[in-house]
Structure 1
Amino acid sequence: MSSANDTKFNSAVFLLTGIPGLEDVHLWISIPFCFMYVISIVGNSVILFIIKTDPSLHEPMYIFLSMLAVTDFGISITTIPTILSIYMFNCREISLNACFAQLFFIHSLQCIESSVLLLMAFDRFIAICNPLRYASILTLPRIAEMGLVFLLRGMAIIVPLPFLLKRFQYCQANVLSHSYCLHQEVMKMACSDITVSSIYGLFTNLLTMGLDSLLILVSYVMIIKTVLSIASHAECLRALNTCISHVCAVLLFYTPEIGLSVIHRFGKGSFPLLQILLGYISLLVPPLINPIVYSVKSKHLTKQIRDRLLRLFTHKGT
């Protein structure tokens, strides 16, 4: 009996889904997806290159930005194979092991990105609320330690998810509603008792994104309290202006994630198009928009990018 079950498990596959009802134009839909991926990968690569090669940008704020760029780059690379294979080649099948690997990287990278956003909030909190100790608190060794801790946290807390899913038998019509694998969806395809996996999945969300978002909110409450105590209106606006890019990144990341999590756990198949749309927004929009937002708001970074591009085209022209 065990041998039969193992054979059944190993030969099983999941079927990924594009946009229902638009199968005839999937090839055309692949074009904007390709543009989004190219822009996000190039944008984050440029950010990393500029920060690495310019010593004046080796400051806490830009180091955290480079961490965010690496995470966004990883999320783009993780989702490219399945999304483009569906829209360009109509290849929907994905093996169980490949699916488990993809959901591990997606969820761990999302946890890491949540941690990076928390570190960036901490950076703004120290810069505004305790500027005299900024350099002594956010030293390079301490930044490296915090980054390593959150990297290990993101990976360690997600590692059990694929192993819990691997224990299940999948005997239903294994059609997922996204173009990639997510824990919440794969878990529902099992015909075994998923109580433990469901509880652990909820625990990981609360311990990572839930806790991080709460700490980010607390940090901004403290920032607003400090800023409102500043006598000068111009200084108040200047201080808040340094937080705009980070606030945009936080909203871009957490808003679709919260909406998608609520639909997955309580929607019970309702709002399928909204679920698909939020899924794409949560994974594709932050890596695409974050480099643009930070480049526009950071005059120094914008100048470095402009100078590098001018130098590149001037060199090619000669």
Structure 2
Amino acid sequence: MGRYLVTGGAGYVGSHVALALQERGDDVVILDDLRQGHRGAVQPGMELVVGDLSDRRKVEEVLAGWRFDGVLHFAALSLVGESMREPLRYLAENLGNSLWLADAAVKAGVRRFVLSSTAALFGEPARIPIDENEALAPVSPYGESKLMVERGLEWADRVHGLRSAALRYFNAAGADPGGRLGEDHNPETHLIPNAVNAALGLGPALTVFGTDYATPDGTAIRDYVHVTDLADAHLRVLDRLKDGPSCRYNVGSGTGASVLEVIAAVERAAGRPVPHVLGPRRAGDPPVLVASNAALRRDTGWTPRLGAIDDIVGTAYAWRKKHPRGYQDAVSDAAA
């Protein structure tokens, strides 16, 4: 098989992709500064290099120290709200670090690069489901930074032949069905883990932002894709780059679940109510965001295997119930 560098591989999506690579027989080297990542998410047999992407010498040393068949890039600032408060930091770090990484990959002879991108590129879409032809019009510095990285990678392909895939995903959710990995952010901003925390008494009551949308139950609808399915999509586009051109894909389940439907799914998983309160809409929240995954299916054969909201929520609940302190508990279990 191959050897791959996974930046941010101790984080949520990156760790699941690293696990998928390892399970199919690839060697994995993780580069992570552990600001948001966790040592407990790094599986036995993987090489962990603790370092920051802004340290260009460290990045070049890592890429020169092994012969890599590809780079999968997850390390980035990723909070939309924070990006509205610190726009220049987001633009500078996400763009600069990503392009220096790509430059180092080119110098090391790496020919494939997979970018963790985002549906935030699309802003407020004109049509649903959202396909790859939707206008790119980010409404946050976070989304803008990812769009700039994608454009930089296009030039890296034109000039240096670095083939790249950008996966624009919507709402990654769930946890490894085998219980080895889960979602552990600080602060936690995602709906499903916050609903799970509320049900388990590990966090405050959930706030439902808006109940008067033009949707069946009045709450906003979002497309949730299981993180294991998302990992499978990364491996498929990585393999496609061996002989195929650079590509950009939207990744989602192709269906949506409302906030109240998510709450109901968590209640089914937990067997108890999710404490929640009803609040006003948040500015800029569209009523419905659902992806078209038709292009990814057509080109790679990918299909979500854990697409049902109960499958997604069930794995998230099981992991958090076993690890109420997140990876602190995972490390304790490993040491026991």
When the two structures are superposed, what TM-score results if normalisation uses the length of structure 2?
0.25
Higher strand share: 2
The structure with the larger Rg is 1
Q: Which has the higher contact order (CA 8 A, sep 6+)?
A: 1
